[in-house]
Structure 1
Amino acid sequence: MTSVATPAVTPSAGLASQANDALSQPAISLADIARAHDVRFLLATFVDMTGKPCAKLVPVEAADELESGAMGFAGYAAGLIGQKPQDADLIAVPDLSSFTPVPFVKEGLALIHCDPHVNGRPWPYAPRVILKNALARLDRKGMQAKVGAEVEYFLVKKNDDGTLSTADDKDDSPRPCYDARGVTRMYEHLTSISDAMNSLGWGNYANDHEDAAGQFEQNFNYADALTTADRVVSLRYILNILAEQRGMTATFMPKPFTDRTGTGLHFHLSLWSGADALFPAGDGKADDGGRGLGLSRLAYSFIGGILEHAPALQAFLAPTVNSYKRTGATTSSSGATWSPRKASFGGNDRTHMIRVPDNKRIELRSGDGSANPYLAIATAIAAGLDGVEKSIDPGLPSGPGESKPDAHFLPATLLHAVEALRKDPVILASLSGDPEIGAYYATAKEEEFLSWHNQVSDWEIRTYLTSI
């Protein structure tokens, strides 16, 4: 729950740009970039709608084939990405600016994010394509989005009986947040992740023990929206692999333990026009109306849009059955859940769905660790932009720990979130501008809920076996 640093004006350049500068060439191939970083193999990566990373391991000798669009995937086999077995291949088209060497994972290895194409066109169901389409819509209005992300996770081990426990046996306090001893015991893991992020130029600035036993968070600087989404996917991969190398499992499951705080994925959002930050009031942009947060009228309308569409947004911000064990929790061993139950906004107050820590950004706090960052950011931007276009007034901010009586309740289950999505034409059409893609996603999530619902649980056996 570290507070992400206020955005600066200029994001750092990508590694591909750095390589171009270093080699003094106007254009550079993927193979050249790879060899400049002593990379022998490339993970050509994209994610499906669930956020699962899909990849092929490509030797640098075949980098030109990858770059020219010769690397095909059977989309239906890859996962939830809008394809059937009979459909044409997804072609992974690499984005050279996303080149990410990961020698700390394997010597000579790099990851590169790709945009799936079908028949020569970007595939509209692909999450990275969806976010790029959302950003293009924003750009047509003369605006850009910058985003910071707070990546939380648990370090666990699976016991012989199938149960989970914390990887650190001594990490058993009911209130371990910021505990210096817990951080020190995980020193090798945390510092290896920090070193990895800093070697990539991400600007890691904090690593802390989170609210639950076994839970950690490692923060990096904000960037443009697409870069941040790529980095969340890359960091999850890095965390998983480096934890496995130490005999642990890094999990982003929202609620792996019933009695502990869940895992969030909080986004810090701001809109810009070139070097001009659009959220702070001033220069004729003020319309505070006694709200006291120092935001522009555009910022308040953006907030209003997110709050208006909050129930449908949760299908993307909290996209699993397990997500609603987190948002529905009433308490935890630490005494707080840190997960909002209503669509409210306020100042520097972590009980709200939208926290306003300063006048340059808002923090969206209802997302959890299972969220696909591309879809979460894309749909949040669509909701906020709808608020801007319609000049939606969010009203006065709620006080500490309070919410307005008419504020939307967030969905109680994944099925409720799916129902809200189906009733919200703005969010349903926010995936590449096509409501059919939203409907496809909604159906898949309904099936996920029903698959879980059809399983008989231990709770049912304990509650109903001899109740009558």
Structure 2
Amino acid sequence: MNGVVSSNTLLLEEIQKKMEEEKVQFLLASFSDMNGTSRAKLVPAKRLSSVCESGAGFAGFAIGDLGHGPTDPDILCIPDLRSMTILPWQKNLAWFAGTLTEDGTPWSYCTRTILLNVMEKAKKLGYEMKTGVEPEFFLLNEDEQGGISPSDSLDVAKKPCYNQLALMRNYDFLSTLINYMEELDWNVAQADHEDANGQFEINFEFADALTSADRLTFFKYMVRSMAEERNLVATFMPKPFSHLTGNGCHMHLSLWDGAKNIFSNEKDIKGNGLSETGYHFIGGLLKHARALSAIVCPTVNSYKRLTAMSTSSGQTWAPNQISYGGNNRTQLVRIPGSGRIEFRAMDNNANPYLATAAILAAGLDGIEQKVDPDVIISEFSGINEVFGIQINTLPATLQEAIIELEQDSVLLEALGKDFMKTYINRKKEEWSEYHDFISSWEIEKYLKETN
């Protein structure tokens, strides 16, 4: 314990020194709520030490339905010093990802803590998960009536993917974003114009699962802030336009033991460069795919991306079959190269910490139970033939996904039963809100056209 205290003290001193050198005046003590929305308090930099010791207080009841009433004590956000990120566009401000405590103990409704708990289980089994994410987003204009359209009025091609002219018309935004990310040492690989008009994607280097979740959280904040500065709207919404390809957040992942990639196997007889452990991890993802959907695709809108039949480009790119394969983008789990896999269902409405925790928990169950992904697919096909139900597809709606999640004891246990009970209840309410709302399409279809 003394060694840990000493290490933390040294890190605090190092961070304080850097903040002084960089002339940082304020810090954001930030955390993600159940839905992945960032919550924060602005704290003078000179208060860093006391905030690390006693936390920044939040009234849990004010944040949403997270197990707190108005009479409960504050939840306390403890900044993780390792996550310090000086804002490239506002250098006197540093952002810290925090974990939440209540009465001095970890709070079971803290999604970052949930991820840390699953990571600790993996560590005890000898695994560290490393992830890389590919967040997609739209840059939009919003008119006075609230209507949205791509911010680039010339971006109208039916197949705009990789369009060089459209890419370069957005050069200022994208190059500034990349420079910011390079300043943060994220090691950007590339940026491209995606399959929809006004849609872009940035790829950057993989890291340990917690760091990647922190970076994705900050990335979304950074992109939205940059868009607001330019009087634009940046959205990560899964399906903002019915006729265009939606936004995904593909996750590349692998398990490591120190410097050894446990997923790597050059002698893989299937030719994918994947180890037996890697295939078992995939088996876990396929086994839990339908329940997992409620976490990685957590909104009503998510399923309009997953179930899209066609778009103006002729492609959807979103998986809906519970399947895996080699370098094939139609699969739920793609194996793009030796030693790693890509999980393609996740979208950016997912809480990065909760989604990562759920994916890891499902994969670990596959390893522990030695789940063969080919057997899972075969079993699904068999059920299909006998009962005539499409259990080999992902859920078609949020309601369907929540029903699956309620029955998945592995995920409920791994993510915390109390938290998951609240999560499931809130998602049921969300479905009811959607179901009970009368849309303009319904008015047009059933009032005007039929009367």
Instruction: Give the corresponding residue for 2:3.
Output: none
| 1:137 equivalent in alignment to 2:121 | yes
Evaluate the alpha carbon distance shift between residue 153 and residue 244 of structure 1 in structure 2; reply closer, same or farther with a 3 A threshold. same
Q: Deviations over 1:389-441 (max 9, x none)?
A: 1001011899xxxx96766210111111110100111112221xx22221211
Given that 2:78 and 2:101 are in contact with CA atoms closer than 8 Å, whether structure 1 keeps it comes out as: yes
Instruction: Give the corresponding residue for 1:385.
Output: 364
| Map 1:261-410 → 2, pairs under 5 A | 261-281=245-265, 288=268, 291-395=270-374, 408-410=392-394
Instruction: Give the corresponding residue for 1:99.
Output: 84
In the alignment, the residues of structure 1 paired with residue 150 and residue 64 of structure 2 have an alpha-carbon distance, to the nearest angstrom, of: 30
The amino acid of 1:271's aligned partner reads L
Instruction: Give the corresponding residue for 1:257.
Output: 241
Given that 2:65 and 2:422 are in contact with CA atoms closer than 8 Å, whether structure 1 keeps it comes out as: no
1:42 pairs with one of 20, 27, 34: 27
Given that 1:315 and 1:421 are in contact with CA atoms closer than 8 Å, whether structure 2 keeps it comes out as: yes
The amino acid of 2:450's aligned partner reads S
> Where do 5+ consecutive residues of structure 2 fail to align?
1-6, 385-390
The amino acid of 2:363's aligned partner reads G
In the alignment, the residues of structure 2 paired with residue 314 and residue 375 of structure 1 have an alpha-carbon distance, to the nearest angstrom, of: 12
> Where do 5+ consecutive residues of structure 1 fail to align?
1-19
SS across alignment from 1:228: helix
Given that 1:291 and 1:397 are in contact with CA atoms closer than 8 Å, whether structure 2 keeps it comes out as: no
1:77 pairs with one of 62, 83, 90: 62
Given that 2:87 and 2:95 are in contact with CA atoms closer than 8 Å, whether structure 1 keeps it comes out as: yes
Higher helix share: 2
| 1:110 equivalent in alignment to 2:110 | no
Given that 1:429 and 1:436 are in contact with CA atoms closer than 8 Å, whether structure 2 keeps it comes out as: no
Instruction: Give the corresponding residue for 1:195.
Output: 179
Given that 1:314 and 1:417 are in contact with CA atoms closer than 8 Å, whether structure 2 keeps it comes out as: yes
In the alignment, the residues of structure 2 paired with residue 82 and residue 29 of structure 1 have an alpha-carbon distance, to the nearest angstrom, of: 36
Q: Deviations over 1:261-288 (max 9, x none)?
A: 0000110010011111111126xxx6x5
2:36 pairs with one of 51, 56, 66: 51
The amino acid of 2:142's aligned partner reads K
Instruction: Give the corresponding residue for 1:461.
Output: 443
SS across alignment from 1:85: coil
Instruction: Give the corresponding residue for 1:155.
Output: 139
| Map 1:205-284 → 2, pairs under 5 A | 205-281=189-265
Instruction: Give the corresponding residue for 1:8.
Output: none
The amino acid of 2:274's aligned partner reads L
In the alignment, the residues of structure 2 paired with residue 397 and residue 168 of structure 1 have an alpha-carbon distance, to the nearest angstrom, of: 45
Instruction: Give the corresponding residue for 2:388.
Output: none
Given that 2:275 and 2:339 are in contact with CA atoms closer than 8 Å, whether structure 1 keeps it comes out as: no
- Aligned-pair identity in percent equals 43
Which TM-score applies when normalising by structure 1? 0.89
Instruction: Give the corresponding residue for 1:452.
Output: 434
In the alignment, the residues of structure 2 paired with residue 396 and residue 179 of structure 1 have an alpha-carbon distance, to the nearest angstrom, of: 41
Instruction: Give the corresponding residue for 2:4.
Output: none
Shift of 1:205: 1.6
| Map 1:154-193 → 2, pairs under 5 A | 154-193=138-177
Shift of 1:29: 5.7
Instruction: Give the corresponding residue for 2:417.
Output: 435
SS across alignment from 2:271: coil
1:28 pairs with one of 5, 10, 13: 13
Evaluate the alpha carbon distance shift between residue 170 and residue 64 of structure 1 in structure 2; reply closer, same or farther with a 3 A threshold. same
Given that 1:176 and 1:212 are in contact with CA atoms closer than 8 Å, whether structure 2 keeps it comes out as: yes
Given that 1:50 and 1:80 are in contact with CA atoms closer than 8 Å, whether structure 2 keeps it comes out as: no
| 1:423 equivalent in alignment to 2:402 | no
Given that 1:65 and 1:71 are in contact with CA atoms closer than 8 Å, whether structure 2 keeps it comes out as: no
Q: Deviations over 1:361-404 (max 9, x none)?
A: 10000011211111111001100100101001011899xxxx96
Shift of 1:292: 2.9
The amino acid of 2:295's aligned partner reads F
Instruction: Give the corresponding residue for 2:105.
Output: 121
In the alignment, the residues of structure 2 paired with residue 26 and residue 325 of structure 1 have an alpha-carbon distance, to the nearest angstrom, of: 45
In the alignment, the residues of structure 1 paired with residue 183 and residue 312 of structure 2 have an alpha-carbon distance, to the nearest angstrom, of: 37
Shift of 1:38: 1.9
In the alignment, the residues of structure 2 paired with residue 103 and residue 354 of structure 1 have an alpha-carbon distance, to the nearest angstrom, of: 35
In the alignment, the residues of structure 2 paired with residue 323 and residue 236 of structure 1 have an alpha-carbon distance, to the nearest angstrom, of: 17
Q: Deviations over 1:201-257 (max 9, x none)?
A: 000121110100010011110000000000000000000001110111110100000
Shift of 1:464: 1.2
Given that 1:197 and 1:203 are in contact with CA atoms closer than 8 Å, whether structure 2 keeps it comes out as: yes
How many pairs were matched up?
Answer: 434
Given that 1:345 and 1:397 are in contact with CA atoms closer than 8 Å, whether structure 2 keeps it comes out as: no
In the alignment, the residues of structure 1 paired with residue 23 and residue 65 of structure 2 have an alpha-carbon distance, to the nearest angstrom, of: 34
In the alignment, the residues of structure 1 paired with residue 60 and residue 395 of structure 2 have an alpha-carbon distance, to the nearest angstrom, of: 31
Given that 2:287 and 2:376 are in contact with CA atoms closer than 8 Å, whether structure 1 keeps it comes out as: no
Given that 1:154 and 1:216 are in contact with CA atoms closer than 8 Å, whether structure 2 keeps it comes out as: yes
Shift of 1:316: 0.9
Evaluate the alpha carbon distance shift between residue 419 and residue 251 of structure 1 in structure 2; reply closer, same or farther with a 3 A threshold. same
In the alignment, the residues of structure 2 paired with residue 435 and residue 67 of structure 1 have an alpha-carbon distance, to the nearest angstrom, of: 29
Which TM-score applies when normalising by structure 2? 0.92
Shift of 1:61: 2.1
Evaluate the alpha carbon distance shift between residue 27 and residue 323 of structure 1 in structure 2; reply closer, same or farther with a 3 A threshold. closer
Shift of 1:34: 1.9
